[in-house]
C-alpha cells in the first residue's frame, strides 16, 4: 500500500484496517521489548525493525496528507460523488482534515485577497483553481501474476490500440 500510494498520481483507496493492524503490532512489539533483557543484541535489532516499520507507516500517512492538501477540492468532490457501497478513498479522519483544510483555505483567500478585489471577482471556484492529479503520468508496474491481452492506449501520434501480455515478475513503465 505504501509504494502504491507513493508512486500513484492520485489518492488511492484508504486502508484503515492495515494501518490499525500495523499500529497494534508495533504496540505489541514495544511491549515485548520492555520485557526483554537490556543490552541483548536481539533487542537492538528489534528496536531497529520497529523504527523501520514506524518510518514506512509515517511515510504512507505523509504521502496521503500531501495529496489531500495538494488536490483537496478534487478529493472531496470524488468522495462526494462515489457510489453507495464503493470503498472510500478517505478515512473519517482524512475526510475531516480535508473539509477543514478546504474551509481554512477559503477563509484565508477571502480575508487576504478576495475582499480587496471588485465584487464581480470575489467568487473563486477552488475546484477550477487547484490543479487536478495528472492521470496521464507514467508509473512503474510490477506484475504479480500473468495477465494476457491487456489493452494499451495509443500515444497521441498513434491511432490504433494494441494488446500486450504481462509475464509474472516483469516490470514495465506504463501510463497510469
pLDDT by residue for the chain (176 residues), tens digit each? 788 889 889 999 988 999 999 999 999 999 988 888 777 788 888 899 999 999 999 999 999 999 999 999 999 999 988 888 888 899 999 999 999 999 999 899 888 888 888 887 778 777 788 888 888 888 888 889 998 888 887 776 667 777 888 899 999 888 88
Domain ranges of the chain: 2-115, 138-175
Find the helix or strand (DSSP H, E) in which 82 lies.
none
Domain 138-175 has CATH 3.65.10.10: no
Report the predicted TM-score, pTM, of the whole model to 2 decimal places.
0.80
Query: Given this structure, which CATH class describes domain 2-115?
Result: mainly alpha
Amino acid at each position: 500500500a505504501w509504494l502504491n500510494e507513493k508512486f500513484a498520481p492520485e489518492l488511492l483507496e484508504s486502508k484503515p484496517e492495515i494501518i490499525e493492524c500495523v499500529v497494534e503490532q508495533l504496540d505489541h512489539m514495544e511491549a515485548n521489548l520492555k520485557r526483554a533483557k537490556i543490552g541483548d543484541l536481539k533487542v537492538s535489532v528489534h528496536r531497529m525493525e520497529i523504527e523501520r516499520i514506524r518510518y514506512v507507516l509515517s511515510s504512507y500517512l505523509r504521502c496521503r496528507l500531501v495529496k489531500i492538501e495538494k488536490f483537496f477540492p478534487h478529493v472531496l468532490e470524488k468522495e462526494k460523488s462515489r457510489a453507495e457501497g464503493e470503498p472510500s478513498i478517505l478515512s473519517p479522519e482524512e475526510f475531516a482534515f480535508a473539509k477543514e483544510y478546504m474551509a481554512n483555505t477559503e477563509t484565508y483567500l477571502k480575508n487576504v485577497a478576495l475582499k480587496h478585489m471588485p465584487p464581480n471577482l470575489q467568487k473563486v471556484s477552488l475546484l477550477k483553481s487547484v490543479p487536478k492529479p495528472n492521470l496521464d503520468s507514467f508509473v512503474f508496474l510490477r506484475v504479480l501474476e500473468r495477465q494476457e491481452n491487456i489493452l494499451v492506449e495509443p500515444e497521441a501520434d498513434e491511432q490504433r490500440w494494441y494488446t500486450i501480455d504481462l509475464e509474472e515478475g516483469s516490470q514495465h513503465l506504463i501510463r497510469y
